[in-house]
Amino acid sequence: MMKYKLSILLLLVSILNAEIKECFLVENKTEFIGCLESEVKKSDSVKDTNFLASIYVNDKEYEKAIKLYEKSVEKGDVKAMYYLGGIYNEALKDYDKALYWFERSYEYNYKDSSAFVAEILSKKFNNNQEAVKNYLQKRIDANDSKAYEFLGAYEYNLKNYKKAIDYYKKAVKAYNSPQAMYAIGSIYYQHLKDTNKGMKWLKKASKLQHPDGVYSVGFIYKDKKEYKKAIEWFNKALDLGVKGSHYAISECYRKMGEFDKAKEQYLKMVKEGNIKGYREIGVMYSLYPEIKDEIKEMKWYERGIEARDGSAAAAAAVGFRDKKDYENFLKYNKIAYSLGYAGGANEIAYYYLRTVKDEKKAIEWGKRANRLGDPMFLKFLKNIGVYDE
């Protein structure tokens, strides 16, 4: 049940099409947004549409963002429902609309949504616990069984874990909810530290093909260092379409020292559209003494850069920073920024602030990172009294 913040709405630029990435070469902010708007109209892609919407959110142009996310919803995008809930909750304080969108996304098994339904109800009823529970009980009385799960989420937010489990069990009894089974298993494992009960409930959810339940069973086995069993469950999660399964499998193979098999999984990530697999192969060659090889490491970072993954360029820059080769450090972070990766701009900003002692250039690069939706460096400068705009 992860917390949602508007500051993390910015989607990873690696998922965008090549034409949109060219917009990051534009220096002027107005022209940058104009370029994005033009390319989004041409591509009509949900991913690109959501990215532009996230830029609008960062600039507090919420109505423009809402229109774009609603366009994505019309194409069946559940994430856009979730993002709409976030805008109405955090930015516009319209709790009825926030409830509507989070509940819609929850219907499509977006697991974090129930936590926000609970949070919004607290705000809607001014933290009056009795009023929240009465409201949800009325929904239960009107045969809205999902309200049991929202009561469970509400008690979860209050850290009343045993009460939360009781409500989730009622949801299981009422309609055999796999989401509720998953929630019970997660609470037992993460908060009550009862691995056996956690595993029992997660496996119950798994029998009903709950994707996150299956993945979580794999995660527990990985945590227990039972990597072969973990791989078996991650493969099941893969069959259910859980993103991140190839990465999880590759991690297991890395822990087992089977680096060729780990590499195969990273390449499968790439084949399925996650170009960060190239970067991960490079990182593997940098971390493990058994296979450490700077030439191969850079080869795979370059493959990532060719595929337009800014994080691969940033990973390459780290090695040059460690060797104090600042010329190449700057070169690769500038490439990262040109591919839309805010971390590249932030690294350059910190370099100018701490190493070169050039506050003007540090601010300039901090602004570039902010333009990509990452305001952290500028906030840091404000906190130390260097920047006051």
pLDDT digits (tens, 9 = 90+) for 4-58: 334 333 333 334 555 566 777 677 778 888 988 998 888 888 988 998 999 899 8
pLDDT digits (tens, 9 = 90+) for 209-219: 999 999 999 99
Domains 1-126 and 150-225 share a fold: yes
Pick the residue with more confidence: 58 or 74? 74
Domain range list for the chain = 1-126, 150-225
Which runs of consecutive H residues, i.e. helices, occur in 142-258? 146-157, 161-175, 178-190, 195-207, 211-223, 227-239, 245-255
The SS3 call for residue 192 is coil
Residue 387 has pLDDT above 90, yes or no: no
Q: Looking at the domain covering 1-126, what would its CATH class be?
A: mainly alpha
**What's residue 19's pLDDT?**
55
CATH fold label, 150-225: 1.25.40
What is the rounded CA–CA span in Å between residue 292 and residue 233?
30
Q: What is the pTM of this model?
A: 0.81
Q: How many residues in total does the chain contain?
A: 389
What is the rounded CA–CA span in Å between residue 237 and residue 69?
28
Q: Dihedral (C-alpha) 279, 296, 288, 330: value to the nearest 10 degrees?
A: -60
> Which residues lie below 8 Å from residue 324, measured CB to CB, with a gap of 6+?
none
What is the rounded CA–CA span in Å between residue 259 and residue 278?
14
**What's residue 251's pLDDT?**
97
33 near 372, Cβ under 8 Å?
Answer: no
Average predicted confidence (pLDDT) for the chain: 92
